[in-house]
Amino acid sequence: MEQTLILVKPDGVQRGLIGAIIGRFEQRGLKLVAMKFIQMSRTLAETHYAVHKERPFYNSLVEYITSGPVVAMVWAGKDAVAAARATIGATNPVAAAPGSIRGDFAMEIGRNLVHGSDSPENAVNEVNLFFTPEERVTWNRLTDSWIQE
């Protein structure tokens, strides 16, 4: 089953939106595999966002993601990466559809509440960056057959 890395960014934690954000993924039918509440180190942030190293917003992005604790999670499901991205909404919250997390709760690209992996390949790397195999739980969810045909 495909897995994706989701982060509730520091603004989501500070604004008391952890529960609301987790609820969106849970209600959608994605299955929780791992979760922890952490302060990201600068090294972890720089590794996680290495792809954006040459972008003008890179430094402020690293500052933002390390400015307070985050909730890091792994969610699983069929097409989990694409489903989670749709649930999160467009990168710029102004363009994010109402009903998406960013479309309902955010106003600016630099305070867009959530990270979600953007491809299955990147998801594998990001999940491994944040979680050991032992931290990822395989479990039987009794509603699985009502969510996945």
Cβ atoms of 112 and 21 within 8 Å: the answer is no
115 catalytic? Reply is yes
Kindly write out the interface string for residues 25-44 of this chain, putting x where it contacts ligand IDP by CB under 6 A and - elsewhere: --------------------
Which of ligand IDP, Mg ion, none sits in contact with 120, Cβ below 5 to 8 A by type? none
* Footprint of Mg ion on 105-144 (CB under 5 A): 118
When asked if residue 109 is in the footprint of ligand IDP (CB under 6 A), the reply is yes
Strand partners, 100: 98
Binding window for ligand IDP (CB under 6 A); candidates: 24-32, 67-75, 112-120, 128-136: 112-120
Cα–Cα distance list, 14 to 8, 9, 11, 18, 136 (Å): 10, 9, 5, 9, 26
